[in-house]
Amino acid sequence: MARVLVYAEVADGTVDPAALEVLTRTRELGDADAVALGPGATGAADVLRRYGAARVFASEDAVFSDCVAQPAVLALEGLVREHGFDVVAFTTGYDSRDIAGRLSGRLGATLMSNVVALPSLDVARAAVFGGSRFVDVKLEGAPRIVLVRPKSFEARECGGRAEVVTVAADAPGDLVTARRVERHEEAASGPKLEDAPVVVSGGRGLGEAANFELLEQLADALGDAAVGATRAVVDAGWVPYSKQIGQTGTTIKPTVYLAFGISGATQHVVGMKGAKRIVAVNRDEDAPIFGLADLGVVGDALEILPRLIEEVRARKG
Amino acid sequence: MNIVVCVKHIPDPNLPGEMRDGRLVREGVQGTLDPGDEFGVEAALQLEEAHGGEVTLVSMGPPAALEAVRKGLSMGADRAVIVSDDALAGADALVTARVLAAAIRRAPFDLVIAGVESTDGYTGTMPSTLAELLGVPQATFARRLEVEGAGLRVERQTAEGYQVIACPLPALVTVTAGVNEPRYPSFKGIMAAKKKPLESLTLSDLGLSPDETAARQRVVEVVDAEERKAGEVIRDDGSAAARIADFLVEAKVI
């Protein structure tokens, strides 16, 4: 059986849910172990074993959260050399990308990113051309590194009782020079973007930052809804990055996605085309977003939004 | 401060892409400097203006990549190195990083800057692989970047907000689109670019063996995704809001 090591990011004691998805899929294909590094890793290990990790490698050492990538890369290299993993699987989280990239260089291992399916442990599927096509890529050598996009698989518990193995944290001085010296979190309210059943989203077509308030009001009126945005408006500084949907940013699969003033650039579409239903409002009748909307409205989002807020309030009574 | 900026020539992102033999067609396609790389060039130029030194562009790609490099030189970079070799068609991210590392190592450097991900391949890990091969620390997803003492202070974008990374030089940094507003090449800049040093290298110039530059991955199949079908498109005549509300009721979210 091929052997897989799944790297699970841990933040504030919580395991990246995408890592549980990857673990669920890879244990169908081979023997899957998991690794969690940094404060909260022991608690994470409990979750990872429930989702079927055969063994969990863990360390609570703060060097893994304080220092950028390099101590984790050294620890992963040690695990690969000791246990001979065929595949090391990551999610596409920020820290995962840093660590996976460096590990590829350190081990001379080929790497495939943005994976959405694993037909086997040496073939990875990724979306190209804005998700209109997939490529199946055969990966050679061992280990092979894959980075899997969130929501590519369903996570299933299987009640395992994996042994937890402590990982040594012994990075030498030259690997601990890049340090996180401050952490800032932007306050968020309402359901999380990736979990909300309805996402109300805006792009450049909204004209200016202040108009995002209309989206907030609509989300409020709907109740269980979150506000999202395109990369263009995040780059323009209208809304914080945490609201960005797309290739970089969050991948969502809500029941309904409402797009206001969004043209439908590839970078955005990749993050939202998994929505069950899509409604798009745009002044430009040639906007690519209309090619995937179940209901498209050619019109001015700023005129329609206030009326829609009233309609929703009235119907919710 | 000697700064290296990694730049990539990509097929025009506004044109529909084409694939042949499981690879993106790059030859004979109208191309451009990856728009994501303009932020890296701008960041380097700002640091050069503040702290002196030199900005070198490094690129790997077909001979057409010259076009992308020219744009970076027109913006103000001082010199460029292009690695072109037929053996590099189909290179994976690891091979790309090996080639760029070999090209960068030929001269001393303080800082390497790259975009977060390319606009055509968007693997998003090549710069980290490059940092590992160069043996330097990294700070990725920079939305702000400044020199502090003998090192760098980088505001790194995260899903929840940002972190501040402190890091000594030499180092590698990747920049997001939020980091600055790239300048347009001036006419003077475009004319000056034609006279700037431009070095073209092959794999043998870099002393890389065929084994080190062989991709360990290949496309075995291209599959069409299930197409989302376009639904009804209406023109707003004042009733669109009610129509959308009906749709939300049908979808059971109201």
Which pLDDT score is estimated for B188?
96
ipTM of the complex: 0.92
Per-residue pLDDT of chain B (254 residues; tens, 9 = 90+): 999 999 999 887 666 677 777 777 777 778 889 988 999 999 999 999 999 999 999 999 988 889 899 999 999 999 999 999 999 988 999 999 999 999 999 999 999 999 998 877 778 999 999 999 999 999 999 999 999 999 999 999 887 789 999 999 999 999 988 788 899 999 999 999 999 999 999 999 999 999 999 999 999 998 887 777 889 999 999 999 999 999 999 999 99
Would you call B163 and A184 a contact, using CB atoms and an 8 Å cutoff? Answer: yes
Whole-angstrom distance, CA of residue A216 vs CA of residue A202: 10
In whole angstroms, how far apart are CA B89 and each of A35, B62, B63, B216? 35, 8, 12, 13
Mean pLDDT of A173-186: 94
State how beta strands A277-282 and B217-224 pair.
Answer: unpaired
**If pLDDT is split at 50, 70 and 90, which confidence band does A159 have?**
confident
For A187-223, b/e burial (b = at least 16 CB within 10 A) is eeeebebbebbbbbbbbebbeeeebbebbebbbbbbe
Which of B160, B168, B216 has its CB closest to that of A177? B168
Q: What is the DSSP string of B218-232?
A: EEEEEEEPPPPPP-E
Q: Is A135 helix (H, G, I), strand (E, B) or coil?
A: strand
**pLDDT higher than threshold 90 for residue A34:** yes
| Interface test with chain A among B99, B160, B220, B224, by most A beta carbons within 10 Å | B160
Which pLDDT score is estimated for B16?
66
In whole angstroms, how far apart are CA A56 and each of A105, A170, A282, B185? 24, 19, 49, 53
Q: Is the peptide bond before B170 cis (omega within 30 degrees of 0)?
A: yes
Tens digits of residue pLDDT in A188-218: 677 889 889 999 999 999 999 999 999 999 9
Would you call A303 and B236 a contact, using CB atoms and an 8 Å cutoff? Answer: yes
CB contacts of A128 in chain B (<8 Å) are: 17, 19, 24
- List the single residue in B with minimal CA-CA distance to A297: B234
Q: What percent of chain A has pLDDT over 90?
A: 79
- List the single residue in A with minimal CA-CA distance to B214: A110
Are the CB atoms for A286 and A163 separated by under 8 Å? no
CB contacts of A140 in chain B (<8 Å) are: 216-217
Q: Is A140 helix (H, G, I), strand (E, B) or coil?
A: coil
State how beta strands A111-120 and A123-128 pair.
Answer: antiparallel
| Interface test with chain B among A68, A138, A276, by most B beta carbons within 10 Å | A68
**Which of A107-116, A121-130, A156-165 shows the lowest per-residue confidence on average (mean pLDDT)?**
A121-130
State how beta strands A10-11 and A295-298 pair.
Answer: unpaired
Strand runs labelled E in A101-242: 111-120, 123-128, 133-139, 144-148, 163-166, 179-185, 198-202, 225-229
CB contacts of A291 in chain B (<8 Å) are: 228, 230
Whole-angstrom distance, CA of residue B163 vs CA of residue B111: 20
Whole-angstrom distance, CA of residue B104 vs CA of residue B89: 20
Mean pLDDT of A60-85: 97
Which 8-state DSSP code applies to residue A243? G
Would you call A277 and B247 a contact, using CB atoms and an 8 Å cutoff? Answer: yes
Tens digits of residue pLDDT in A264-294: 988 788 889 889 999 999 999 999 999 999 9
Tell me the average pLDDT of chain A. 93
What crossing angle do the helices spanning B126-134 and B93-104 adopt, rounded to 10°? 40
Would you call B230 and A296 a contact, using CB atoms and an 8 Å cutoff? Answer: yes
